[in-house]
């Protein structure tokens, strides 16, 4: 209802973008007709490739469009466009770039509802959450717009009045390769620092979620970036490989799984290209008995059930001090059972549909295996079939809490990437820190306690790149985000990301005569 009620104010812009969306921001009606590649400042059909993949609306299982995968020629055209735009953009001052990025942020804010709706339709997450994603996206652009004007090097004095200075220079054409869980936000987390530093970008979203990133490309053009500065190519493995192997690509920033991350790094190694890898996780959330229980329960829900549990930094191993195990478990199960699953475009829905059927089956497989290995399903875990007939073929399940878990169970060791929380009791701080770190991953971690010394001591001991004290999965764009160990390296967000989208040139200046040793 609310989605329909909003329509009149959105109509003019929606029609300008995609005529069908105006009539169809109701689940089960949206289709995409326009090309999904973006090159040289416009939507284009790919020049080659052309293998078609179906793109789904997870809420209904309906095909919303066919994706034409970009071939080698199309990838090359996108890179050449980016190269040409780079020449203009990299010569502009930081303040000039800042103004364009701020305008892009403003347009995203203005179109928040439309972009969030696109994201919900293509990803399956609730509209409530998609709006938050879009807010984090424009905040990211604003943040890097703010930094663009003050990117600078150092001035170093040398003997005899000589001196040196450093210049922070862009890398060139950067490639962004994204996952399907936060399509628009991932594209912003990569493009905002890249563009602020003076780079151009060719972005490839996941073939499951190709739609919203093209909107971002249109917004950049509308905001005033040179045509070709931000291009979108579409496709899966083959398209990604063409990008990574392209000799004119200077850097690859990848968000996705560990196995793909390894392949990206191998391809990058051949061209000596720097990489940023944002990979998977199996993060610990440690709940001490002296916590504020209600906050800890809220934190555990935030750590596990955003975006149907399809979040890389989720705290899926919930370690609970044995003294409060029963009280915590009872409350967390009660609250999980209350999560409203269903049509993601409805205002009161808090969990939508998983990305696709194979992924839902995979998550179900993990739950089945957990039961076989002795875990106890305390709630959820079963498929959910909404009453609304149009949702019958959607990919829904009820959020799941597993009790009686042991550290060596598959559900505790492997990333499930679905709404499945594993509860693990512990007795001492020393023991829990060791168990928390006993994983190949190291993306995130969290601690709930009222004891500030213990909180800082424990996060200092966690081998993870993003730690939370008394909260979880909040994402202020001012803070760097990224992993330790198999969760990758490089950082997104915060000042730190500048390091990964720029290179330092040192200039040594002689003020005297050259004293030759020859």
Ligand X SMILES: NC(=O)C1=CN([C@@H]2O[C@H](COP(=O)(O)OP(=O)(O)OC[C@H]3O[C@@H](n4cnc5c(N)ncnc54)[C@H](O)[C@@H]3O)[C@@H](O)[C@H]2O)C=CC1
Would you please indicate which residues are annotated as catalytic (active-site) residues? 278
CA angle, residues 226, 228, 231, in degrees to nearest 5: 130
CA angle, residues 308, 491, 281, in degrees to nearest 5: 35
Q: Give dist(CA 189, CA 123) in Å, integer.
A: 18
- Compose the 35-74 pattern: x for residues touching ligand NM2 by CB under 6 A, - for all others: ----------------------------------------
Residue 473, interface with ligand NM2 (CB under 6 A)? yes
- Residue 507 contacts by C-beta under 8 Å, 6 or more apart in sequence? 164, 165, 166, 167
Which pairing describes strands 466-469 and 444-448: parallel, antiparallel, or unpaired? Answer: parallel
Q: What is the footprint of ligand X within residues 262-281 (CB under 6 A)?
A: 263-264, 278-281
206 binds, among ligand X, ligand NM2, none (CB under 5 to 8 A by kind): ligand X
Q: Give dist(CA 384, CA 235) in Å, integer.
A: 31
Q: What is the footprint of ligand X within residues 408-437 (CB under 6 A)?
A: 415, 417
CA atoms within 13 A on the CB side of 251: 24
Residue 204, interface with ligand X (CB under 6 A)? yes
Exactly one of 312, 370, 432, 447 binds ligand NM2 (CB under 6 A); that residue is: 312
Cβ distance to ligand X smaller for residue 10 or 306 = 306
User: What DSSP state is assigned to residue 492?
Assistant: B
Q: Give dist(CA 300, CA 313) in Å, integer.
A: 12
Cβ distance to ligand X smaller for residue 68 or 179 = 179
CA angle, residues 233, 235, 240, in degrees to nearest 5: 80
SS3 letters across 319-339 = EEEHHHHHHHHHHHHHHHHCC
380 binds, among ligand NM2, ligand X, none (CB under 5 to 8 A by kind): none
Exactly one of 256, 352, 399, 490 binds ligand X (CB under 6 A); that residue is: 256
- CB of residue 164 to ligand X, shortest distance in Å: 37
Helix ranges (DSSP H) in 90-236: 94-110, 112-123, 127-148, 183-196, 211-223
Cβ distance to ligand X smaller for residue 17 or 189 = 189
- CB of residue 123 to ligand X, shortest distance in Å: 11
Cβ distance to ligand X smaller for residue 89 or 472 = 472
Q: How many residues bind ligand X (CB under 6 A)?
A: 27
Q: Give dist(CA 351, CA 363) in Å, integer.
A: 15
Exactly one of 120, 137, 181, 234 binds ligand NM2 (CB under 6 A); that residue is: 181
Cβ distance to ligand X smaller for residue 244 or 458 = 244
263 binds, among ligand NM2, ligand X, none (CB under 5 to 8 A by kind): ligand X
Burial of 95 (0-12, 13-18, 19+ CB in 10 A): exposed
Rounded to a whole number, what is the distance in angstroms from the first to the last CA of the chain? Answer: 84
- CB of residue 248 to ligand X, shortest distance in Å: 17
CA atoms within 13 A on the CB side of 507: 10
Exactly one of 60, 206, 212, 329 binds ligand X (CB under 6 A); that residue is: 206
411 binds, among ligand NM2, ligand X, none (CB under 5 to 8 A by kind): none
- CB of residue 279 to ligand X, shortest distance in Å: 5
Exactly one of 86, 143, 180, 182 binds ligand NM2 (CB under 6 A); that residue is: 182
- CB of residue 488 to ligand X, shortest distance in Å: 6
Q: Give dist(CA 256, CA 236) in Å, integer.
A: 12
Three-state DSSP state, 250 = strand
219 binds, among ligand X, ligand NM2, none (CB under 5 to 8 A by kind): none
- CB of residue 180 to ligand NM2, shortest distance in Å: 10
Cβ distance to ligand X smaller for residue 251 or 335 = 251
Q: Give dist(CA 175, CA 198) in Å, integer.
A: 14
Cβ distance to ligand NM2 smaller for residue 52 or 479 = 479
Binding site for ligand NM2 (CB under 6 A): 181-182, 186, 306, 311-313, 473, 475
């Amino acid at each position: 209802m609310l989605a329909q009620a909003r329509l009149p104010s959105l109509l003019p812009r929606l029609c300008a973008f995609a005529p069908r969306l105006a009539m169809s921001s109701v689940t089960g009606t949206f289709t995409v007709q326009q090309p999904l590649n973006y090159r040289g400042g416009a939507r284009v059909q790919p020049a080659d490739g052309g293998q078609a993949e179906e793109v789904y609306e997870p809420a209904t299982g309906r095909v919303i469009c066919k994706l034409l995968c970009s071939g080698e020629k199309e990838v090359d055209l996108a890179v050449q466009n980016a190269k040409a735009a780079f020449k203009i953009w990299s010569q502009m001052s930081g303040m000039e770039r800042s103004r364009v990025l701020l305008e892009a942020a403003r347009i995203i804010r203005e179109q928040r509802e439309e972009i969030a709706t696109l994201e919900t339709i293509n990803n399956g997450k609730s509209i409530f959450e998609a709006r938050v994603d879009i807010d984090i996206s424009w905040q990211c652009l604003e943040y890097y717009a703010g930094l663009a004007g003050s990117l600078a090097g150092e001035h170093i004095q040398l003997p005899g009045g000589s001196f040196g200075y450093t210049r922070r220079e862009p890398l060139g054409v950067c490639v962004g390769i994204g996952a399907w869980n936060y399509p628009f936000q991932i594209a912003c987390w990569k493009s905002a620092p890249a563009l602020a530093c003076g780079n151009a970008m060719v972005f490839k979203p996941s073939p499951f979620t190709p739609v919203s990133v093209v909107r971002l490309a249109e917004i950049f053009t509308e905001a005033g970036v040179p045509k070709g500065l931000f291009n979108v190519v579409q496709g899966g493995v083959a398209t990604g490989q063409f990008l990574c192997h392209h000799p004119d690509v200077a850097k690859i920033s990848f968000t996705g799984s560990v196995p793909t991350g390894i392949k990206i790094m191998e391809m990058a190694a051949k061209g000596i290209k720097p990489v940023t890898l944002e990979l998977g996780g199996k993060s610990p959330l440690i709940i001490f008995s002296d916590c504020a229980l209600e906050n800890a329960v809220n934190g555990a829900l935030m750590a596990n059930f955003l975006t149907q549990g399809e979040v890389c930094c989720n705290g899926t191993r919930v370690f609970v001090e044995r003294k409060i195990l029963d009280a915590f478990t009872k409350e967390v199960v009660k609250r999980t059972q209350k999560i409203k699953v269903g049509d993601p475009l409805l205002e009161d829905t808090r969990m939508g549909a998983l990305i696709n059927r194979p992924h839902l089956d995979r998550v179900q497989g993990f739950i089945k295996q957990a039961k076989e290995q002795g875990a106890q399903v305390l709630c959820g875990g079963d498929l959910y079939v909404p009453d609304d007939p149009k949702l019958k073929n959607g990919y829904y399940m009820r959020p799941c809490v597993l009790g009686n878990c042991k550290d060596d169970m598959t559900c505790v060791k492997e990333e499930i990437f679905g709404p499945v929380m594993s509860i693990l009791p512990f007795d001492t701080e020393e023991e829990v820190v060791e168990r928390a770190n006993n994983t190949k991953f190291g993306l995130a971690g969290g601690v709930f306690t009222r004891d500030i010394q213990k909180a800082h001591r424990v996060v200092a001991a966690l081998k993870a790149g993003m730690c939370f004290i008394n909260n979880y999965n909040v994402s202020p764009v001012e803070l760097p985000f990224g992993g330790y160990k198999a969760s990758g390296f490089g950082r997104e967000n915060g000042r730190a990301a500048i390091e990964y989208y720029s290179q330092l040139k040192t200039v040594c200046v002689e003020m005297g005569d050259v004293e030759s040793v020859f």
